[in-house]
Homo-oligomer: A and B are copies of this chain.
Amino acid sequence: MRTAAEVIKKPWTESPPRRAWTSCIHERIDYIFISNNYWIDDERPCLTYAMRGHIRMVVSVQGPKQNVHAGVDGGAVVEPTIDLCYILGTLVDGAGRVCVPGFYEDVRASSEDDDAAFDRIAFDTTQYRHELGVQRLAQAAERNALRARWAEPTLSITNVQTSNGDQAFSVIPHKATAQVSIRFVPDQKADEIVTVVRHHLEHEFNKRNSGNQLSVEVVQVSQWWRSETSSPYFGAARAATKEVWGCEPLLVCEGGTMHTTCMLVDHFEAPALHLPMGQSSDGAHLPNERIRIQNLVNGQAVVYSFLEHLSKEGTTEEGDEGDRDELVA
């Protein structure tokens, strides 16, 4: 059973060849520039300045040593699947609020800048509900859907499986497994979240006193990431986007490549910037994935302009570690 800290502390740079390579370029990295995100709609250019962290956990309950027959043994066996459903059902209430004691501790209060950025986006919850096809959003989200999606932690059950592979109605599965995906935010710590979630699951499981075995395993942890929007790098990206697209970019907190971003930031001790280049409807990773030619051409122009702005301003970033005079983009 691994803790979140153990999962985090297995660096990608452990192997000797990688160590040699990274040590030789380490000193020359001032800034990490990633363009692998999308706008939040098809119209408005964006800059990503934060992403929630991600904890992947696997929770399983094991009972008999193999599947048993529901008609023969049903009633005599306390079923692992029902134990698992019970404990999973205690995690989140019907309004989307995570019911694990201590889960929301350390969540950083919304700043005025964040509120202003969220307000500027003028997010339409009615349209969002329509796009999702749901009758209602989680309670908190109705008032402030963006805050719920970007600045609040959340807990999802992304899959449940049993050992009854043939889906026979006459089989009691001897094991049931769930995937739990937790998104966490500044200033939450992965290890503390794992501890409270694990404790809650064990507490609820022990209430049942079923004699089955619970296992809670951390599979992967990606830290939350947040860049300083007041840095000269971020300023150069804002100015360049405005220059090319003719409007201020929206400052958003959604995007991908999160695990890699945190790993690079951590390893090179350099800040990062995400420049979303495509439209929300580009169909990322789906069939017929595309990018509009205008976005590609203007995207290149934003990168040129970003470098120009930086060279005019000088590149030493206040508040970041080290004094670096070069930019490796």
Shortest Cβ distance from residue A88 to the other chain B in the assembled complex, whole angstroms: 4
Instruction: Please measure, in the bound complex, the distance between the C-alpha atom of A148 and the C-alpha atom of B71, giving whole angstroms.
Output: 11
Complex contact A54–B71 (CB within 8 A): yes
Complex contact B183–A70 (CB within 8 A): yes
The answer to whether A295 has its CB under 8 Å from any CB of chain B is no
Which interface residue of A145, A162, A176 has the most chain B CB atoms within 10 A? A162
- For the complex, count residues of A whose C-beta is within 8 A of B: 82
Chain B residue with minimal CB distance to A87?
Answer: B89
Q: Which residues of B contact A254 (CB under 8 A)?
A: 71-72
Q: A88-B85, A160-B81 are in contact. Are A94 and B134 (CB under 8 A)?
A: no
Q: Which residues of B contact A83 (CB under 8 A)?
A: 94
Chain B residue with minimal CB distance to A166?
Answer: B159
Q: A72-B254, A173-B158 are in contact. Are A93 and B52 (CB under 8 A)?
A: no
Shortest Cβ distance from residue A116 to the other chain B in the assembled complex, whole angstroms: 20
Chain B residue with minimal CB distance to A38?
Answer: B72
Q: A154-B75, A183-B70 are in contact. Are A64 and B134 (CB under 8 A)?
A: yes
The residues of A with any CB-CB pair to B shorter than 8 Å are 51-52, 54, 56, 63-66, 68, 70-79, 81-96, 128, 132-138, 140-141, 145, 148-149, 152-154, 156-162, 164, 167-173, 176, 178-179, 181, 183, 207-212, 219-220, 254, 256, 258
